[in-house]
Amino acid sequence: EEGGTVGMVGGDSEYGYHNTRTRAAHAQNDAIIHKTFEEYTRLREGIREAELAEQRRDKLGGSLTSTSSGAYGSGSSPLSLRDREYVSSSPPEARRVQTRTSSQGLSGLRSRSTYTTSDLKTTSSAYGNFPKTREVYSSLTSAARRSSSDRTKGTATSSASSQKELDKKACVGLSNLGNTCFMNSILQCLFGVKELGEFFSDDVETGQIVRNRENKVAKAFQELVRKVLGSDIGSVVSPSGFHEKVKMKDRKWGGMRQHDSQEFLQFLLNVLREQCNRIAEKKPKYKELDGKGSQEDQAHEALKYYKSWHDSVIDDIFGGLLESSITCDNCNHISYCFDPFLDLSVPVPGSGMNSSSVNLHDCLSKFTEKEKLEDIEGYKCEKCKKQSTACKKLTVYKMPRVVILHLKRFSGGGFSRFSRFSKNSARVSFQMELDFGRYCYSSSEPSRYRLFAISHHSGSLTGGHYYAEVENAYDGCWYNFNDSMVTNCRQPDTSSSTAYVLFYRRI
């Protein structure tokens, strides 16, 4: 089973450390688990090499059969690729994994105070009992945690409940299907939205989705969410079924081309909003809003009209309302326009690879600053009926529960086919806790948010890669998701040249 390394969860928040002695006990066990996992990973890589070597031998006409007896039983029936053994001339990279437990068995392991990698042994012969190796590793991990809990009676209850919850909502890697890192990065960020996971795990909430055969992407996303939330830590889930339904919806996401993660995010949110829409009856006819009444009346009318078209879990979580105001320089009349949004694309001041560091507030200020509209652009005031210069300004009228900020790092460039676009790699400093108050219409609107996920883009336009850093919604720890590789990490660096899409949750 493909997979990457994963950092074992630890820290004061999980175990509830009360003193130095307790902390040392947990640290000892975590170190042992890490050491065991490293051995487990090394053995797994050896098996992968053997599988590749076996495939090469198949192409060269080599004969592969099962042995007459051994770890997998007797007989000459063909075995699966993973469980086959070489009869002769085994390649040097092939390794056989043999497992042994203590004389007391796996139950005996649980009572031991220490666990070493000697519980997993290797020889240089052909490979074999890989599933048993994985079973022993899993038992060692569970045993170490149980032993740690037994030594710290004062925290046994909180540790057990925390571990139980973690076991149900583990962090897993996603297989790269061939340049699908853009998709994996966004999916991991969305898995960090607890409300989204709860919705797609609820059979009652998703009943309408399941009954409608046309909602193929939403169904596939539901299956993927449930698989991810139900998988053990360190495992890898393939999003191939979900990807197939995405390609059926829009062929642009197929093939081996690299895509933009923010474009995929917009596509996915819009499709899920459409397929999870609670408005089952016929939608109202399109109409132009009259733009009359006070600012609040116009905003209320726009929101009501939007809700008559879209009412879904996506709107509940990510839906906000953006206000665009235009002030006529001739008569000072202000006209308003309100647009719903699921994410905000904000500019990154400066350009080029060597741009100096900017702050996220600089990006938001640039997004909401007044823009001069010259008369050559054709603005005509609805009140004085004259064509004149005007000032345009954007303001967030209604903040969503989760704010998605897209840093506009990519822009159009020269006329050459290969320099059509460029990337702004300026370091952007951002805050773990961000106050959006100065960019909102109302001061009474809740405006404090906390960062919980980042989609990163490293490299250039010709050779880039996407990965994600996400705060797990269930254990509160940060993880780095790099396709199938998952590692436990500290809070992200708050000054980054690779941060591309930021996810903030209302506090």
Active site residues: 181, 465
Helix (H) or strand (E) holding 477: none
C-alpha span between 144 and 46 (Å, rounded): 26
Q: Residue 421 in contact with residue 410, Cβ under 8 Å?
A: yes
Cα first-last separation, the chain: 39
C-alpha span between 163 and 468 (Å, rounded): 24
Contacts with 85 (C-beta within 8 Å, 6 or more apart), sequence order:
66, 67, 70, 72, 79, 96, 126, 127, 128
Q: From start to end of 428-498, where are the E strands?
A: 428-429, 433-435, 448-459, 464-471, 478-482, 485-489, 495-496
Residue 354, judged by CB atoms within 10 A of its CB (0-12, 13-18, 19+), counts as: exposed
Rounded to 10 degrees, the C-alpha dihedral 306/370/389/295 comes to 40
Pairing of strands 448-459, 464-471: antiparallel
Query: Which residues face 372 on adjacent strands?
Result: 391
Q: Give Dmax over CA atoms of the chain in angstroms.
A: 95
**Full 3-state SS string of 331-372:** CCCEEEEEEEECCEEEECCCCCCCCCCEEHHHHHHHHHCCEE
C-alpha span between 243 and 240 (Å, rounded): 5
Matching residue, tokens 């139980």:
164
Closest CA to 369 of 439, 443, 434: 439
Closest CA to 407 of 447, 455, 452: 455
Q: Residue 219 in contact with residue 249, Cβ under 8 Å?
A: no
